[in-house]
Structure 1
Amino acid sequence: MGVAAIKYGEQDIANLFCMPQTLVTLIESCLSGAGVPELAEIVLQDAALSARVINAASKAGSTRIDAAEPVTSAIQQLGLPVVTGIALQAAKQVVAHDFTDTSLHFLNSLWFSSRVAGQFARCLSPTVSYLHVEEAQLSGLLLNLGLYTLFSKHGDDYAELAAESKSSPALSQRELQSYQQDHLHVAEDVIEPWKLDSFLIDAVRFLHQDVVQIENSSQLLKIARLSHQICQHPLELTDDVRQLAERLFQFSRSEIDYLFSWAKGLYKGAIPALEDPEKLREQLKEARGRLIDLIFALADQEGARARLLGNNRPELLATEARHLYLENSPAGEAIFMLVDHKNNQLAGIVAEGQARLISELKVPLDASLSLVVQALVSGETNNSFSAKQPLSVTDQLLLRIGGKRGFFCQPFLLDGRLLGAVVLSVDREEEMSTLHLLRLRMFGQVVSESIAQLSNDVPDNFFEGSAQLRRVSHELSNPLTIIGNYAEVIGHLLPDDEHREFTDAIKREVRRVDDVLNYYLNQQELPPFPDRDISLNQLVYEAVDALQEGELQPRRIDVRFNLKNDLAKVSTNGVLVKQILVNLLKNAAEAVTEGGEIQLATRDSYCSDGGRFVEVVVQDNGGGIDSQVKDQLFRPVVSTKGPGHAGVGLSIVKGMVDDLGGRISYHSSPAAGTGFHLQIPCGDDDFSAASLI
């Protein structure tokens, strides 16, 4: 009687070894309060880390993981503290394990091979018009997941059996003889519980099927197959790869040459020194030392969080936070300023033992000359020593109160929300390097959380904001009316209705602006009921029509549609949805070069608390979003469009999406361009105004 094959599952995922250097980067980013896009980009460099994060999210609750962006969706569901905990457990495992030369060689080769497949799949996906770039990257990354799992269970014995760190039919045969299970079925066991609405699991289990069957299957299976072939010789393009690329995707020689060169540039710098065991061991030692430091830093962060807990008044919070900064930095004073949303200013908060003059510091948020406002608005630290302009009066007052020759500003932000800043007084410019250390950034994250929690107890000042909006609406009302009237007159002057569609479009867009203004005027006082049976596909076409003459046709931008014919209709506010789509399309049009391409797709989805959504994807083939602004993308100050643009469009979009109860996310890279995913809840037949508040 044969021995039954072992069933692999979630406990085996907890034993997978993550790449130490990737863990260092992830934990540092978690400590600094990085946003979801940055965290997802880091996690997608490591197969074991991706598996740990997705597995945790799949067990966390009823919310389904978005198969189009599985890692991003998982991180959004788990939140920063849980992701930090996953990284911490993986780090402890790496620090505690006694790696042999054999295991180090095997793991480094495996980490690199998986990264190669993931990066190539990421580049290949938009090239073959597969919209779900992250899903494609993950499929390449996880092709070797079974090898990770078998190594974690059998160690050096498996490393010697495998000989290579790549999936192959020959390896499957050796595994079956030794373990009654091969790596493809092991990977299937591990991935299946995630219940992804994706062919990812099939891309792995059919990896070695005859290419005749693969070439007529899903795009994802073909992407995985070609990505795996690249892994065999990641630094040179072989005839086998060229032939497979032509067979699966009809690539010409120049096309596959270009694609390979592009992908190789992304992973070439990660080549491990496999022929130098001493160097591998030295790199591991260095990474372990850094991980140990970070483990202690995480403990310090929890200690700081505990110290700030329960300080339910600004002055109490400032007092405890001041102690934290003075104890852990060379600063002689720490002055806290919090955002006063009512008066649109930064206001000084007096901590225990500080001069009362701090309470008299009031700095308008539009006072661009002040270094402390510049730090807050930019989301970046700055200091008086490197100021490129004379110090403002406010900055000179801060210098006097601090009693030192200079100061350092650290902003407090959380999820793009402006909260305040701390001004640390120092005597020497050389002390700036200490203030840039992770420990200080870590405290900034904890203080930001505490300020956000504190501000949650204070109601938003609706009336001031509403009054300002009414003034803006009043100022816009007359010119909008005049524009509409002129369009009407021009329409009557045109002979035989010639070009009447243009004047109709002008009037339609004027009405849309008026509708949007009226919506924001009335939403707090009397939330409007949603319109029933709104067709998202129809709104997509209308949004494109609104930009066709002014934005798209003059620059020869090609718009391609992939709209689901039987897409569910929704109960929502059609005016806002169309405005969101127009803003996203306008953003995409400005991101691509002349003759560029925008792809629009719609689909049904189930990705938030089990609820039904309809989704539209706006994908451009531009150069991607600068990594420095990704975490602040939905803030009003952020722009990727160059001088002359205020960058407020995406901030407006985020506010409108929140008003609709929807979600918006994005993926972006220089290779793939940028794709925005807008999800609108389908709504119920029995809806009420209360459900919209």
Structure 2
Amino acid sequence: METSVPDIQHRLMAASLPALPQVLVQLISHCESEEGGMAALAELLSRDAALAMKVLRVAASPVYRRGPVPANLEQALTAIGIDMVRTLLLTESVYQTFNGFAATRGIDLRPFWAHAIATAISARAIADKLGYAQVEEAYLAGLLHDIGRLALVTAAPDEYAANFHAEDDDALCATEERTLEITHPEAGALLIEGLALDSFLADSIRYHHEPLERLQTSHPLVRLTALADAFATHAGSADGIPPAVARMAGFSQEEAREHAQTLAEQIAHLAASLGIEVAKETRPALLARRTGLAATAILGGDRLNEKVRDLILVSKTAEELRKFHDANACTRAIVKSSVVLFGFSDAIVLSGSAGSDILTPAALEDGRMRLSGLSLPLDEGNIAGMAALHGIAAFHIPPRVASVVEDQLLRFFKTNALVALRLSPSAEEPVVLLGAMSAGQAQLLRNRQHLLGDFGRQSGAILGQTVQHNDKAGFPDAALASEFQLAARRVAHEVNNPLSIIKNYLALLDRKADNKQAFGDDLSVVTEEVDRVAQIVNDFAQEHQARPDDSADVNGALAHAARMFSESGSLHPEVRIAHHASREPVRAAIDSRVFNQILINLVKNANEAMANGGRIDLRNAGLVPRDGRHWIAVSVIDTGPGIPDTLMPRLFSPIASAKDGPNRGLGLSIVHDLVTKAGGQISCRSSNAGTVFDILLRHAPFHAQPEPGERG
């Protein structure tokens, strides 16, 4: 009997998007909503016995425990902390989701993964070219961009199997829409959103078939993923990578040609590093059509399912580690993350200084200080020394004979197996993670060497950056001087804005005095701008910082900015400005002075871009839904010539502008910092018809009376 579309949709949503138990979905949602408390979370968790046991086991580890073993789930969750609970739930959801791809085993996944890896390698190269800092996130986005095809064939194998190896283009999406009422980009985005991963990762999957012209002003991760897919698709074609695609990716035509020529070789090298056998002749015509690669670089699907799963886990764990700016705090976070990821019953970090031949425990917490007296020789007589010297995970599993110090650690940890993993890039100043577990767990972990290696490299790199940051903070040097110089330039830039407004208002007051007109509110504007100059200088000196406002009246701030620029004569003669209020009054969770500073910078930039005249609109769209929550949407729109494509990738960096003057290029960098520090988001869309800066701000409860310093 023919299967109906609604039935397929039901299976898709219930079984594959995401393929998670309802309790796990609710737990993830509860953590992300930040509503309720540990009691409600514990009540949800109690409905899944296996997951509840995992939480209790992690909380009982000495790494988390401070005092007696937690007696119940609520105490266990409190001991772990909400951030690590999210990591634990993410780990579980990723495992269950990728285990759900078992139904695809009857299909040859090797061409699928060949294209995925080609896109991932291309995404990393493009991220490097465009200056996108999170290159590993780009790699992950490329690897996952077609993951919706796995979701569809898992949920509806009979209906979708015939299309699984079809050419990945708009025709395939149209077929998917017609037969299943959902495309693989949409399915993949839903899958990633179900795992509670970063929204831009989901968006990079959702939009990877969009025309590249539409993505020019999108988030860099979204844009470079679509470019990487185009690179991988065209790499082996007779015409090669299209010039427009290469140009948008920051490649010369020669560089694009070299990338295409080496892509198959890089995939084969990756296959060898993963220990995966490379088939010599498998679907050559399909690969030539799907990936443009020689048929010598096709990988086994099951192993790659595991690799993708591990990459997600390490990538999201690394994201949590980047929140720490203190080396000791980062070290302890690495230890806690390892307990969740690898199932360690306990763990410590060992380190050695340059020229030293011993490893000693680092960043120990209270109650564990007796371990500080231990030292392990930096040699091959113990697993920590082996890991430090050779950079690979080393195991102690019976019947291997332990050294004396290893035996001490085994008794301290009350276990019979250990694993050591180097975190530092070399053995010159080694940092080693040492984890304890049962022999059976260690045997299983031995088969996951790549997860250990990826975790070691990423967490070690983040720890190294944290140490360097701490060193800079403690010892003034050229880098610190450069930071101070940039801060001084920012102050000069920001002081210049109110000074320009004051100068224009003084000229206006002079004209009014000559005509015997009333000054009205003009003097109060001058007073406010003088106060703003003083506040900017005081903030830089970190003296007498004003107490920030809790919120800003958005409609009032837009009206004030429009009136100030139009009445002061700060605009070019042929430039007009208008503001558009939301129907309902809204307050944004941002200091009112900071919001005014953002608006002044953006309006000033728009005015300077329209020397021949034009229009500036300040628009408040009110509350809008984005990423599962409501934001206040504010737009600053101009009808100028647009921003050159070459500047868009680094638009918010301190050197993006081509304007003359000593403070050129700082305004948008300052705006970006102010918006993000307030917990908001800013993006830009630009064409030859004009430029739009879209700002999303967290909303705050509205109070009828404006706060001091705000103008309606």
What interval of TM-score do these two structures reach, taking the shorter chain for normalisation?
A: 0.3 to 0.5
TM-score after normalising by structure 1: 0.40
TM-score after normalising by structure 2: 0.39
